[in-house]
Amino acid sequence: MKKLNRNSLFLFALALCLGFSGNALAQGNSIRASQKASVTQFIGNDAQITFTFSRPGVKGRTVWGDIVPYGLTPGNKYSDNKPFPWRAGANENTTMEINKDVKVEGQPLPAGKYSIHMIPSEKDWVVIFNKKSDQWGSYKYDEAEDALRVTVTPAKAPHEEWLTFGFDDITDNSVVAYLHWEKLMVPFKVELE
């Protein structure tokens, strides 16, 4: 009888462990369709710019003017039916963190962490640096929290399947940061004050 109870107890404990670990695996290890990424560039000796973003794929879709509409995205239940800019990525806010005061396209931007939002068009784009950097997407975007808006001109580029941010034209005191996705690059100059 003692042996049966001991065996039953062991089997019960084993079943519990397997059940909990299987449940944890099912909940915690699903892979995101748009993987998270980060890229950092230094300007000069110690000025640092870091973009953190999620990387949606083109996956055979038409991106510009379709899955990313031109102008503001129409409102929906998540935005309380208010139109909102594109989140410049997927999932959580895309962010740019800078540890020094800089100029973006010649306009001052204090050191800090900003969410990046964009208003695409077929010609010029508006790039928005917003003080609220901890939200999911742009659904609750508040224009009153904008630190800076700049207008830039996108350029045609080789196909890039997965959205990315990067840096080009690096000098001692400036860099051209860019978003690159599908066959389009959206550059903006960042320079030390």
Q: What is the pLDDT of residues 105-128, one digit of tens each?
A: 999 999 999 999 999 999 999 999
Q: What tokens were used for 60?
A: 């055979």
Judged against a pLDDT cut of 80, whether residue 172 lies above it is answered with yes
Looking at residue 36, what is its pLDDT? 86
Looking at the fold, whether 183 and 149 belong to one and the same domain comes out as yes
Are residues 9 and 92 both part of a single domain? no
Burial level of 28, CB count in 10 A (0-12/13-18/19+)?
A: exposed
Q: What distance in Å separates the CA atoms of residue 126 and residue 151, rounded to the nearest whole number? A: 4
Rounded CA gap, 187 and 175, in Å?
A: 10
Same domain, 44 and 117: yes
140, 79 in Cβ contact below 8 A? yes
Co-location of 20 and 90 in the same domain = no
Residues 4 and 51 in one domain: no
In this structure, are 6 and 49 located in the same domain? Answer: no
For residues 32 and 156, which has the higher predicted lDDT (pLDDT)?
Answer: 156
Average confidence (pLDDT) over 57-66: 93
pLDDT band, residue 3 (cuts 50/70/90)? low
Write out the two tokens for 133: 């950097």
Same structural domain, 5 and 100: no
Question: What is the rounded (10 degree) CA torsion for 108, 166, 124, 107?
Answer: 10
97 plus 24 within the same structural domain: no
Same domain, 61 and 147: yes
**What Å distances lie between residue 101 and 35, 109, 118, CA to CA?**
30, 6, 21
Q: Give me the pLDDT at residue 113, please.
A: 98
Query: Helix or strand or coil: residue 32?
Result: coil
Better-predicted residue by pLDDT, 134 or 48: 48
Q: How many domains does the chain have?
A: 2
Is residue 108 classed exposed, middle or buried when 0-12, 13-18 and 19+ CB atoms within 10 A define those classes?
Answer: exposed
Position 137 scores a pLDDT of 80
Q: Are both 13 and 59 inside the same structural domain? A: no
Q: Are residues 6 and 58 in the same domain?
A: no
Look up the domain containing 18 and give its range. 1-30
At residue 4, the pLDDT reads: 55
Is there a single domain that holds both residue 161 and residue 68? Answer: yes
